[in-house]
Chain A
């Protein structure tokens, strides 16, 4: 079984500030991990994913995430927030013998001018 915990349902940053969205996972097998972004009134789209290659994963729009097995974490970061980054972000894990995703509850990112 697998689960995902996203710390902080709402994160607010100033434009130009560091973005840090936290994700911790639990999995009984080596996990594959994903970050998805949802802009208002849209479906989800992939930001980046970890599939057991490099532990530091770079995604679209300047986001990156680091897989840390010892901390069971996969936090999402961006050095400098833009107004266009305002959205809801979901961490997800794929584990076990199937390909189903288990999603966290999401973190809403607000970017203030």
Chain B
């Protein structure tokens, strides 16, 4: 099993450009999450999807949109990138219960110039 995969691994954008970060999991998990990691800030939840067909805002949703394409895939879109969105983005998945372990992908390092 590959677990949680993310593409791309690295990306450089110019201010105002758009892009979509892709995430897929092969563990048949119900819930999926997008986090951003910034130095000294820990991980902050951007959006999550409790189950296929549902999405909800997390702590820092502004400037992002998400799509839960099917049970396996959860994408994150930046419509008009800003330098403040320079970060490392992680996708995670879990069964969907409070005691569950979240499994993380390897991350996407995004730089917005």
Contact between B99 and A94 (Cβ–Cβ < 8 Å)?
A: yes
In Å, the complex CA distance between A34 and B94 comes to 14
With a cutoff of 8 Å between Cβ atoms, the chain B residues found around residue A41 in the complex are: 107
> Are B106 and A43 in touch, CB under 8 angstroms?
yes
A105 and B107: CB pair below 8 A? no
Q: Find chain B residues with CB under 8 A from A104 CB.
A: 42
A105 close to B97 (CB less than 8 A): no
- In A98-113, which residues have CB < 8 Å from any B CB? 98-106
CB contact between A100 and one of B48, B101, B105, B107 (< 8 Å): that residue: B48
- A32 CA to B105 CA, complexed, in Å: 22
A44 CA to B43 CA in the complex, in Å?
Answer: 10
**What is the minimal beta-carbon distance from A1 to any residue of chain B, in angstroms?**
11
CB contacts (< 8 Å) of A46 on chain B: these are: 101-102
Interface size on A, residues (CB 8 A): 24
Contact yes or no, B90 A43, CB < 8 A: yes
Q: Which residues of chain A are near B50, meaning CB under 8 Å?
A: 98-99
A105 and B106 in contact, given A94-B99, A99-B96, A100-B58 (Cβ under 8 angstroms): no
B-facing mask of A49-70, CB < 8 A → 1, else 0? 1010000000000000000000
User: Are A106 and B90 CB-contacts (below 8 A) given A42-B106, A43-B104, A94-B99?
Assistant: no
Quick one: CB contact mask for B75-111 with A, threshold 8 Å, 1 for yes? Answer: 0000000000000001010101111111011110000
Closest 5 CB pairs of A and B: A43-B104, A51-B99, A105-B42, A103-B42, A103-B43
Q: A residues touching B (Cβ–Cβ < 8 Å)?
A: 9, 32, 34, 36, 41-46, 49, 51, 90, 94-95, 98-106
**Residues of B with Cβ closer than 8 Å to A?**
4, 31, 33, 40-45, 48, 50, 58, 90, 92, 94, 96-102, 104-107
Listed A/B pairs (24) with beta-carbon separation below 8 Å: A32-B98, A34-B101, A36-B104, A41-B107, A42-B106, A43-B4, A43-B105, A44-B90, A49-B99, A49-B101, A51-B99, A90-B42, A90-B43, A94-B99, A98-B50, A99-B94, A99-B96, A99-B100, A100-B33, A100-B45, A101-B45, A103-B43, A103-B44, A106-B40
